[in-house]
Structure 1
Amino acid sequence: MSGKTEGFDPAKLAAYIDHTLLKADATAEAVDKLCDEARRFGFYSVCVNGGWVSRCVKALEGSGVRVSAVVGFPLGASLPEVKAFEAARAAELGATDIDMVLAVGALLAGDEAYVRDDIRAVVEAVKGKAIVKVILETGFLTDDQKRTACRLAEEAGAHFVKTSTGFGPGGATVEDVRLMRAAVSPGVQVKASGGVRDRAAAIAMIEAGATRLGTSSGVAIVSGAGGGSAGY
């Protein structure tokens, strides 16, 4: 992990961050606090479960901060048509980014057509309304499977590949970000998420090729503080 943190503009770093709250016990008060922090620090987006999209859109109106919604989260095992509906509804409510979990079990079983079609269903459901990030859940995958997942995501029209949910085994690593960056064409971006909790880790992910960071520790990262909450 790189230690090149000196001189990195915190304002620019904030623009990489999807400020995240995905816990089951998230309350309206906690979501409002998330949005207030995102507005105050200039994060790229807030990333929430679909039930909070409308509240976040209203809270962030006029701020320039976007709303990201997770789909098929955190297992990726929902039916493709359910994921597509979930994504479409979130986009209707104002989400501009959809972070979907791919069908991990199908990938492990080698069913490439199912994985590709599952992603494509979501991409088509929000076409022209939102971009789609595909969460690989890298902790379950071999390097070859990560490359396959990246290829299938790109073939399905996804805009990003993303490391982890933060709820599965492991999280973002510099090595995985580099692998994923090399596995997709320049038009597809990479999001690092899962365990990115301080500025040094954040900058290391960016140096490895990430153009977005998913973290619940955004305030700590831009302020240079250590630590952060466990999980995402």
Structure 2
Amino acid sequence: MIVEPNRYIEHTNLNTDLIDRDIDRLVAEAKSHQFQGVCIPPFWVKKASRELKDTEIQLVTVIGFPLGYQRTESKIKEIELAIEDGADELDLVMNVSAFKSGMNWPKIEMAKAAKLAHENNKLLKLIVETALLSTEELAKVCKIVSDAGVDFIKTSTGFSSRGANTRDVEIMKENVSANVGIKASGGIKSYEQLKELVVVGAERIGTSSGVAIMKEFRNE
């Protein structure tokens, strides 16, 4: 099966030491390879928005990153600022602590964030950090995400003990509603990995290895 990787890749750099030249390079590479999007920290959204003007590349940023412990009010403010700066899609980190405590608050938070995003014609993705969840917990989160009106469920921040794998995506595919997309991210470094994840249901791939994956694909 041939999978054209650029159709799925969100070209990502969330490193703490990135500088303006890194953003310039990320955007230039995304344009060159016609990636689906670029995913960057909120601080750099306004700059990238100017550089991506008049392109179809989606500008993605993270909210409540990387642990999701912030109060909902803080996350909502982050979303408002990101939208004001030009973000097209918001990747919100779930409060795993509240979820594992049996609280209903994560669903309320997701619903509030989704409402705000949709009022501004933006997409909301929910990062669930699969490394921290059992199979049963992941299935339960999928149901919550579906009920809360989230657009995509995302495997990982890339900052936990592991990233995405095919089993995570399979569980998500089995448990989310049909209108919820799946984004796999974390540790995806090869074309073979990308293809395996797409085959089992991933519709977006977050990776910092987009250029290397494209080179591998073209060499094949």
TM bin, normalised by shorter chain, reads over 0.9
Q: Does 1:196 align with 2:188?
A: yes
Q: Does 1:126 align with 2:109?
A: no
Q: Does 1:115 align with 2:106?
A: yes
Instruction: Give 1:55's aligned amino acid.
Output: K
* CA distance in structure 2 between the partners assigned to 1:35 and 1:107 by the alignment: 35
Equivalent residue for 1:155?
147
Q: Give per-residue Cα distances to partners, 1:109-132, cap 9 Å, x unaligned.
A: 121x11101111211222233100
Give the number of equivalent residue pairs: 216
Shift of 1:46: 0.5
* CA distance in structure 2 between the partners assigned to 1:87 and 1:123 by the alignment: 10
Equivalent residue for 2:62?
70
* 8 Å contact from structure 1 (residues 85, 125) kept in 2: no
Which residue of 37, 43, 54 maps to 1:45? Answer: 37
User: Structure 1 regions of 5+ residues with no counterpart?
Assistant: 226-232
Q: Give per-residue Cα distances to partners, 1:34-73, cap 9 Å, x unaligned.
A: 0000010000110011111111111111221110010000
Helix, strand or coil at the partner of 2:115: helix
* CA distance in structure 2 between the partners assigned to 1:209 and 1:66 by the alignment: 20
Equivalent residue for 2:134?
142
User: Structure 2 regions of 5+ residues with no counterpart?
Assistant: none
Identity of aligned residues (%): 34
Q: Does 1:93 align with 2:88?
A: no
Helix, strand or coil at the partner of 1:164: coil
Root mean square deviation, CA, Å: 1.1
Tell me the TM-score normalized by structure 2. Answer: 0.95
* CA distance in structure 2 between the partners assigned to 1:55 and 1:15 by the alignment: 24
Instruction: Give 1:202's aligned amino acid.
Output: L
Q: Does 1:80 align with 2:86?
A: no
Equivalent residue for 1:59?
51
Equivalent residue for 1:18?
10
Q: Give per-residue Cα distances to partners, 1:10-37, cap 9 Å, x unaligned.
A: xx32021110010111100001100000
Helix, strand or coil at the partner of 2:187: coil
Which residue of 175, 187, 200 maps to 1:183? Answer: 175
Instruction: Give 2:47's aligned amino acid.
Output: R
* CA distance in structure 2 between the partners assigned to 1:101 and 1:83 by the alignment: 9
Tell me the TM-score normalized by structure 1. Answer: 0.90
Q: Give per-residue Cα distances to partners, 1:165-222, cap 9 Å, x unaligned.
A: 0001211000000100111111111000001111000000000100000000011111
Which residue of 203, 210, 218 maps to 1:218? Answer: 210
Moved over 6 A (4+): none
Helix, strand or coil at the partner of 1:166: coil
